[in-house]
A and B are shown apart, each in its own frame.
Chain A
Amino acid sequence: MSGCSDKSFHLIRVGTMHHRPLIDGNVSGCLGVLPSHSEPVNSETNRTTSSCSSFSGTAYFLSALCVYISSFLLPFSTKTSSRINRDRLRLSNWESFAIKLLKGQTLTRYVKNKLELRWVLVQFGAFIVLCGATHLINLWTFTMHSRTVAMVMTTAKVFTAAVSCITALMLVHIIPDLLSVKTRELFLKNKAAELDREMGLIRTQEETGRHVRMLTHEIRSTLDRHTILKTTLVELGRTLALEECALWMPTRTGLELQLSYTLRQQNPVGYTVPIHHPMINQVFSSSHAIKISPNCPVARIRPAGKYMPGEVVAVRVPLLHLSNFQINDWPELSTKRYALMVLMLPSDSARQWHVHELELVEVVADQVAVALSHAAILEESMRARDLLMEQNVALDLARREAETAIRARNDFLAVMNHEMRTPMHAIIALSSLLQETELTPEQRLMVETILKSSNLLATLINDVLDLSRLEDGSLQLDLGTFNLYALFREVLNLIKPIASVKKLHVSLNLAPDLPEYAVGDEKRLMQTILNVVGNAVKFSKDGSILITAFVAKAELLRDPRTPEFFPVPGDNHFYLRVQVKDSGIGVSPQDIPKLFTKFAQIQSTAIRNSGGSGLGLAICKRFVNLMEGHIWIESEGLGKGCTAIFMVKLGIPERLNDSRLALMPKVPPNHGPAAFPGLKVLVMDENGVSRMVTKGLLVHLGCDVTMVSSSEECLRVVSHEHKVVFMDVCVPGMDGYEIAIRIQEKFTKRHERPIIVALTGNTDKVTKEKFMRVGMDGVILKPVSLDKMRSVLSDLLEHRVLFEAI
């Protein structure tokens, strides 16, 4: 501006130069070289020129001032403009750096421009200075001036002119550059604006990303399926500003998709859509979110409005099941079920689905899948844990119950054991003591029976407890030497009372080759025999019971029914075989195996009424097994009686005159003539001779014999003092049986009744059985030897029962 004004002024000057010769001096001064050396400046023209020059001087002064001022102001102006620009942009550091980079391309040129611009400024400054100087010097030419002043003036003018020419030339060169700087600035401004926009986009994206993270966090923060799905829809809707968002789950059959959750609609009606729609298949086959047509059945959630529906996108959500997860293995992708998530942009918004939005949707879908699978796993594990807890509780309860039961049983056993043993001890002890006192033979007999019975009972009690030990197999036999015959006799003694009450008669048949002494567990063997015989008695209403015992022959030892039983005969042991045959109710063949099972009872009312715990035979079987034997029952059927047979292994004692034998009280060593001092007996015999002979026998043995010759006399004479009644019944026509019965009737009490023995010459079975049935205690076959009589009497008196003396 100042330059222009300056230039215009010079032009004016140039113009005035043509018209005023005085001004010529100046012009020539301006132009530099002028040979106008010696032309003196006229004073006449000074007046006109002085007015002109005063006007021009003022103009010079003003322009100089302007130039100075503008020269100062120019740098400042550039500074401010740049500052304003920067403020407008509000760029962050990296953005400004980017912009700088953008500008970096033109940096060198910019620098160059700056340099050039500075040079121009310098030039301008020089020009201004020179021009001002020139005009100031011109003031001295207002009046007469010397040549020197003119020279200086001219020089100044020349310089000014030169500078202005150069500047003009420079300007011509620089102007395009200046203009281009301006354009660059414009360009940068545009770029910055664009970056602004992009920045905005990135920010939105970042926000979206943050939304996603929040959404994921929301989804993963809960393990409840519904919350997950609901949150998904809500957050998605919010983030993406959706109009509608829906989730379609496959039905149980897997053939349809059912609308399960929606964003806006509160109660999704149970729409179902068949799953094999091409579009749905397309969505399922790809892991990306796919744009689908709004006309697709899944997208027609809302009632069709009059607006254009927005774009719809569907994405698959894999539903992973627990079974899909193998240990250290990623879930199989082949056997997946999918749910469908449908997202609808607001209608009429002309919004498009952007890639980033689709990506967001896919990410969310995956997250949802993962979250759902986690939820499923958690559900399973919770369920399993609950189940386990229940089971634990139940098991605990069962364990406690079992413990209680065991404790109760043990307590019971202990208590019963104690409770039963105490009275038993009392009975046994007192009976033993009683034995020591003075007793009549009758009383002694009774006490002995009591003692024997109580011992047996004590053994039984022990065995109740032993049963548990038997089961463990920890029971051991108490081996000892004992008298086999005495054992059988005792069994018979013990069973006789019960048998006679039931009008059964028991007969014992011991083989002659049966050794008198054997080694074994006496108590348990007796218990076994007693149990078996007891069963026979129990299950028979009438009839007879026959007990036979003999040594089992080698060839008979092996029973075809029990191939596993291999008895091996040896030198120091033998097998005792005992058979107990009864004529009772019998056992049906199919029940036979059950007999030996513990507590098993035959389901027949007749048997059940007889009572019993069902334990006896089981115990017997165990004892027999312990004795390396075998026990079984034979029966032809119900009502046909049954036979119980068992074989046990017994040892043969080495020395019969063992010191222990002497302690055995079984065989009374009464071999002297007066074996039975004072024993009152009654002999009934019609035949005088035989009567006398019998009497002689008995007298010889020390008895006090009363003789009667007829039944009436017998009945009359017989009293409770007579211990034994010998009845000769071999006379036909005489009913010895009746007498026996009558005697029995006379003495109601068992202990008062004498032992009745029949003397007969008849040994046939019928007669024998008749005797037994009648209730005779024994039968002796005539002729009676002294020894026979002696043994008979001793047996009779000892056991009150006679095994048949053949």
Chain B
Amino acid sequence: MDLVQLQRQLVDYRTSLYHEGFLDEQFTQLQELQDENNPDFVVEVVSLYFEDSERLLNELSKALEQQIIDFKRIDAHVHQLKGSSSSIGAQRVQKLCIVFRNYCEAQNVEGCLKCLQQVKHEYSIVKTKLESMFQLERQILNAGGSVPV
């Protein structure tokens, strides 16, 4: 593909992500933080996010499968996830986490389970999206261009 086209595509993609609410301002902030001293900052952060989130989601699944559900622990995990998501700018995930926390407070197992599913779902979407975005960026970089901000 053409560089310009690639770049345009990236921009469009990003815009759509924002538009659809997958990402919010925070992500922009992250991008701002990326400079020549820190070229892969965003990628690093996002990667970390993925790792963290997956871990957390596994934990949550495990916790909810228990006989006696430790809501406190679940709440803590969800809180973490929420925090991470908000740091990244994964808006949808964050919002779901809030709902999740409410269910936790209400000690609603079913609600929690349902939420968990949703969170997982959302998470996977956002992950995919971000990965494709990064791929696009890599392509652009490989093509010799610069990633538009």
Binding between chains A and B? yes
User: B48 to chain A: which residues have CB within 8 Å?
Assistant: 688-689, 692
A689 and B33 in contact, given A700-B38, A731-B76, A783-B26 (Cβ under 8 angstroms)? no
A686, A696, A730: the one contacting B33 at CB < 8 Å is A696
Secondary structure class of chain B's binding surface, majority of residues: helix
B29 within 8 A of partner (CB): yes
- B5 CB within 8 Å of chain A: no
Q: Which of A458-493 contact B (CB under 8 A)?
A: none
A693 & B76 in contact (Cβ 8 Å cutoff):
no
The residue of chain A having its C-beta at the shortest distance from the C-beta of B83 within the complex is A687
Interface residue? A673 (CB, 8 A): yes
Cβ of A689 and Cβ of B38 under 8 Å apart?
Answer: no
Name which residue of chain B comes closest to A691, CB basis: B87
The answer to the question of B13 belonging to the interface, with a C-beta cut-off of 8 Å to chain A, is: no
- Are B88 and A689 within 8 A (Cβ)? yes
Annotate A722-765 by CB proximity to B: 1 below 8 A, 0 otherwise.
00000010111100000000000000000000000000010000
Whether B37 pairs with A689 at a CB distance below 8 angstroms is no
Instruction: Say yes or no: A696 contacts B83, CB within 8 Å.
Output: no
Q: A688-B48, A689-B52, A692-B48 are in contact. Are A699 and B38 (CB under 8 A)?
A: yes
Bound complex: CA A786 to CA B28 (Å): 10
Whether the pair B33, A697 counts as a contact (CB closer than 8 A) is yes
Q: Is A48 an interface residue (CB 8 A)?
A: no
* Chain A proximity of B100: nearest CB distance (Å): 14
A689 CA / B49 CA spacing, docked (Å): 6
Judged by a CB distance under 8 angstroms, whether A541 is at the interface is no
For B37, the chain A residues whose CB sits under 8 A away are 699-700
Instruction: Please determine whether A673 and B52 come into contact, CB atoms closer than 8 angstroms.
Output: no
A785 at the B interface (CB under 8 A): yes
Q: Determine the distance from Cα of A730 to Cα of B94 in the docked complex, in whole angstroms.
A: 15
| Shortest distance from the beta carbon of A268 to any chain B beta carbon, whole Å | 120
Of the candidates A673, A696, A732, A783, the one having the most CB atoms from chain B within 10 angstroms of its own CB is A696
A786 touches B84 (CB 8 A): no
B37 to chain A, nearest CB (A): 7
Cα A267 to Cα B138 in complex, Å, equals: 144
Q: A732 near B84 (CB under 8 angstroms)?
A: no
| Any B CB within 8 A of the CB of A103 | no
In the bound complex, CA of A700 to CA of B30 (Å): 10
In residues 75-92 of chain B, which contact A (Cβ within 8 Å)? 75-76, 79-80, 83-84, 86-89
Number of interface residues of B (CB under 8 A): 26
CB neighbours of B38 from chain A (8 A): 696, 699-700
Complexed CA–CA distance, A692 and B52 (Å)? 12
Bound-complex Cα distance A733 to B76 (A)? 8
Q: Is the CB of B45 within 8 A of A783?
A: no
Whether a CB of chain B sits under 8 angstroms from the CB of A410 is no
Q: How many whole Å from B134's CB to the nearest CB in chain A?
A: 16
Q: Does A225 sit at the interface, judged by CB under 8 A?
A: no
**Cβ < 8 Å to A, chain B residues 17-39:** 25-26, 29-30, 32-33, 35, 37-38
Measured between beta carbons, the chain B residues less than 8 angstroms from A730 are 79, 83
For B131, the chain A residues whose CB sits under 8 A away are none
Is B110 interfacial (CB-CB < 8 Å)? Answer: no
**Chain A CB within 10 Å, residue with most, of B35, B84, B87:** B87
A786 to B29 CA separation, bound complex (whole angstroms): 7
Partner of A732, one of B29, B30, B75, B88: B75
How does the 8 Å CB contact mask read for B29-68 relative to A, with 1 for contact and 0 for none? 1101101011001001100110010000000000000000
A693-B87 contact in complex given A688-B52, A786-B29, C-beta closer than 8 Å: yes
A732 to B89, CA, bound (A): 21
Nearest residue in A to B44 (C-beta to C-beta)? A692
- Give A102-144 interface residues, CB cut-off 8 Å to B: none
Take A689-B49, A696-B41 as given contacts and tell me if A782 and B76 are in contact as well, using a CB distance cutoff of 8 Å: no
Question: In the complex, which residues of chain A have a beta carbon less than 8 angstroms from the beta carbon of B41?
Answer: 696
| 0 or 1 for each of A673-686: is its CB under 8 Å from B? (1 = yes) | 10000000000001
Residues 25 to 73 of chain A near chain B (Cβ within 8 Å):
none
Residues of A within 8 A of B88 (CB): 689, 693
Give the contacting residue for B30; candidates A686, A696, A699, A761; CB below 8 A. A696
Cα of A728 to Cα of B84 in the assembled complex, Å:
12
User: In the complex the two chains form, is B45's CB within 8 Å of A689's CB?
Assistant: yes
Q: Are B35 and A693 in contact (CB under 8 A)?
A: no
Q: Show the binding face of B for A, using Cβ within 8 Å.
A: 25-26, 29-30, 32-33, 35, 37-38, 41, 44-45, 48-49, 52, 72, 75-76, 79-80, 83-84, 86-89
Could you list some 22 contacts between A and B, CB below 8 A? A687-B80, A687-B83, A688-B52, A688-B84, A689-B45, A689-B52, A689-B83, A689-B84, A692-B44, A693-B26, A693-B30, A696-B41, A696-B45, A697-B33, A699-B38, A728-B83, A731-B76, A731-B79, A731-B83, A783-B86, A783-B87, A786-B33
Given A688-B48, A731-B79, 17 other A-B residues pairs in contact with their CB atoms under 8 A: A687-B87, A689-B45, A689-B48, A689-B83, A692-B87, A693-B26, A693-B30, A696-B30, A696-B33, A696-B41, A697-B29, A697-B33, A730-B79, A732-B76, A782-B87, A783-B86, A786-B29
